[in-house]
Structure 1
Amino acid sequence: MEVRLLTPSDAEKYWKLRLEALRQNPEAFATSYEEAIKRENPIEQVATNMDADGNYTFGAIENDELIGMVTLMEEKHLKLQHRANIFAMYVTPEKQGKGVGKSLLSEVINKAKAIDKFEKLNLTVVKTNAKAKGLYTKLGFQSFGLEEQALKIDGKYYDEEYMVLFLGCFRKDSCS
């Protein structure tokens, strides 16, 4: 397995995996599958996003197949540029529990650490997703808040937990 930064030439593979993610885990994403399939020129949009400044999408590739993905996105507003956000984390079900997610997130964390302005990474995770929360915690993320009823799917509510990873000694209690 190889983890690398995806390029616009990977857009079609990304889009296929993205649709799988939206079908498999609708509670994990703000976008619904139904909304996604209605997009005009989705592969072109994905390619444009992959080429955008401050947007880093990593993929886990095995036998020329995209089996996992995650996006690191920097904030554009001047007052928020010290932080970045992790979005769209997904590993295809048959590859879960085999270190793919950890490899993807480790690559994202390393990329963020290499960008001097980033002091912290933020992400959200559905409160009931114990496997994802366990991975995030193992890599140093800490919970800092909860949004109740953050998502509503077919009349059912899902709470989202906010998590943060401080990348250096920017908080007085984060260094020895």
Structure 2
Amino acid sequence: MHVTLLKAADAVMYRRLMLQAYELAADAFTSTAEERAAEPDAFWIKRVADPTGLEAAFGAFDDHDLVGTVALQFSEKPKTEHKAKIIGMFVDSEVRGLGIGRALLEAAITYAEAKESIRQLTLTVTEGNEPAISLYQSMGFQVFGLEPMAILTPDGYKAKVHMWRSLQRNIRPILNESFG
């Protein structure tokens, strides 16, 4: 098992895995499998190999099979360019519990930390997805809000838990040491 930054050549495998994710874990995503299946190839290529650098995706491979993924979205707006968003986290059910989700998150965090301007990561997770919430909390994410009725599922409305994680490096202390 290894985790790597995806490239344009991985877009077909990425699309296949994500369509599986939208189908099997429908409550985890705000898009439907039908919506995403209709996206052109350019959408999927941009997600894994965005020429602007505003998106990056990571894949976990078991031999040559893509079995897990997570992506980052960066803001191009000056007032929010210090933030990146974790999106599209999914690990195939057959390989869950092997540390793949943690390895994917570590890769995404490391990638974000390498970008000098990024100070904060955010994500949302559907309320009730305790394994995901537990993983995110173990990786330093904290809950900062709950969005009620965020998505409509076949079982009714579900909330989204909003989480964030500070990337502490290179942040100067607010107070001068002489005040301490």
1-side partners of 2:173 and 2:149: how far apart? 33
2-side partners of 1:125 and 1:171: how far apart? 31
The number of aligned residues is: 171
Measured against aligned partners, the alpha-carbon deviations of 1:64-106 in whole angstroms (never above 9, x if no partner) come to: 0000000011111110001100000000001111100000000
Q: Secondary structure at the match of 1:76?
A: coil
Question: What is the letter of the counterpart of residue 50 of structure 1?
Answer: V
Question: What is the letter of the counterpart of residue 10 of structure 1?
Answer: D
Aligned to 2:46: 48
Structure with greater Cα Rg: 2
Q: Is the 2:54–2:74 contact (alpha carbons within 8 Å) kept by the matching residues of 1?
A: yes
Measured against aligned partners, the alpha-carbon deviations of 1:6-62 in whole angstroms (never above 9, x if no partner) come to: 0000000001000110011111111101212233x3x33211332222211000001
Structure 1, unpaired ranges of 5+: none
Aligned to 2:10: 10
Q: Spell out the pairing of 1:1-176 with structure 2 (5 A cutoff).
A: 1-39=1-39, 41=40, 43-52=41-50, 53-154=53-154, 156-168=156-168, 170=171
Q: CA deviation at 1:172?
A: 6.3
Question: What is the letter of the counterpart of residue 127 of structure 1?
Answer: E
Structure 2, unpaired ranges of 5+: 175-180
Q: Secondary structure at the match of 1:101?
A: helix
| Percent sequence identity over aligned pairs | 33
1-side partners of 2:92 and 2:101: how far apart? 10
2-side partners of 1:129 and 1:172: how far apart? 36
Q: Is the 2:46–2:55 contact (alpha carbons within 8 Å) kept by the matching residues of 1?
A: no
Moved more, 44-53 or 29-38: 44-53
Q: CA deviation at 1:171?
A: 8.9
What root-mean-square deviation, in Å, do the aligned CA atoms of Structure 1 and Structure 2 show?
Answer: 1.6
TM-score using structure 2 length: 0.90
1-side partners of 2:47 and 2:71: how far apart? 10
1-side partners of 2:103 and 2:155: how far apart? 35
Q: Secondary structure at the match of 2:162?
A: strand
Q: Secondary structure at the match of 1:14?
A: helix
2-side partners of 1:29 and 1:172: how far apart? 37
